[in-house]
Every structure is written in C-alpha cells, then in structure tokens.
Amino acid sequence: MAIPANPLALTAERKLDERRQHALCRYYAAAGAGGLAVGVHTTQFQIRDPKIGLFHPVLELASEEISSADAKGDVPLVRVTGICGNTTQAVGEAQMARELGYQAGLLS
C-alpha cells in the first residue's frame, strides 16, 4: 500500500489553509492511498514551534478526515505522524498522536 506524506496547505500569508488541507486529505483517501503520513516532511518541523502552534491542529484535521474516509470505506486507513525533538518533546508528540488515533510514528 502507498502511504503518502501529506503536504501542508498554507495561505499566501503562510497560515494554515484549512479548506485546502481538508481537501488534500480527502484527495489521498479517494485516490486509494492506504493511509496518510502527517507532519513527516522535514520542511514541516517548524509547525511544532509553540509560536507557530500548528502541529496539533494539522494532526487533528487529518485525523478527522481519515475517520470520515474510514466510515465510507471497507479498509481503514493507516495513520502515521512524524515525531521529533528531545525525549520530552518526542514522548509528548507520541502521546498526542496516539490520542488522535495515529498508529505509527516516523522518528527523526
């Protein structure tokens, strides 16, 4: 199965474009992806910065779309997220991801 890395949809002002982010998730599910890998691009490490504050919202948004796709499909999608940082940060990210229904973490 293919589990694509979900790109980050931003507005021209570099803010999260929720409408397009939802659409990207729906696109991959409709295209037959076996799951989504969210927050795994090295270019997305900055979304974890508390000043930016996008890591949880991006993971939550994708999780909602995956749940919606799961309800419509025969086979549930696999949920993968990126996990990075020092031990405290990585454990916190893993716990948050688990609470949002993610099944695997890609460690950096």
Q: Dump pLDDT digits (tens) for 30-42.
A: 999 999 999 998 6
Q: What is the pLDDT of residue 108?
A: 82
Decide: helix, strand or coil at residue 68. helix
Q: Is the pLDDT of residue 26 over 80?
A: yes
Give the largest Cα separation in the chain, rounded.
39
Nearest of 32, 19, 71 to residue 101 by alpha carbon: 71
Host domain of residue 102: 5-107
d(CA 48, CA 101): 18
Long-range contacts of 42-50 (CB under 8 A, 24+ apart): 42/108, 43/8, 44/8, 44/82, 45/82, 45/84, 45/108, 47/8, 48/84, 48/85, 48/89, 48/93
pTM for this predicted structure: 0.91
Looking at residue 92, its pLDDT comes to 95
pLDDT of residue 43: 65
Residue 45 has pLDDT above 90, yes or no: no
The total number of structural domains in the chain stands at 1
Whether pLDDT at 51 is above 70: yes
Angle between helices 55-72 and 18-30 (to 10 degrees): 40
What average pLDDT score do residues 9-37 get? 95
pLDDT digits (tens, 9 = 90+) for 67-108: 999 999 888 999 999 999 899 999 999 999 999 999 999 998
pLDDT of residue 16: 93
